[in-house]
Amino acid sequence: LKGLRVARWQPGLALYPSSVIKLAVLVEAALRDASGDLAATGGLVAPAQFVSTNPVLTRQDVDAALDLVVAGDHAAANGLIDRLGMERINGSMADLGLTNTVLSRRFNAPVPSHTPANQMTAVDAARLMYRLARRDLPQGQAADRVRASLGRNPHNDMLSRDLMGLPGVRTLHLGG
């Protein structure tokens, strides 16, 4: 993962992260599930193709939710946010050293006008992806699950075919 060239241009610039901040939701869900904490709390509300009201989520339930979020499903992301809690997601990201990542609102949901926008700088997104690639999370298997979901994303048409066709290159993609 170490290259010979490094480029840097305003890595801490605060831009609206759009769906990139879903990485924080995915990582928190995988971490909580790996610790057994996610399975111990109520049902998960998600769209019609994935609905689980079972108080104990199975591994398949969590994987399905992660895959839907990766594919760009805002309702699945909001279901995980509701279940995990924004404060807990933000706390975990801070614990991982991502000090410029703040989840303040759900996706495509009305909020009071004074609610700040979600924030995740490019450098925080890159650091989180780097940690995923290195399995550098409190539970390594959580990184494996997030990477597996990113790798299964069926909507990777925005990635360069040249990049995807390189031997030994595996692409990971988070849909909007």
What pTM value is reported for the model?
Answer: 0.77
Nearest to 84 by CA among 132, 34, 130, 33: 33
The strand pairing partners of 102, in sequence order, are 119
What are the pLDDT digits (tens) for 131-176?
A: 999 999 999 999 999 998 888 776 655 555 555 566 666 655 565 5
The helix (run of H) or strand (run of E) holding residue 119 is strand 119-120
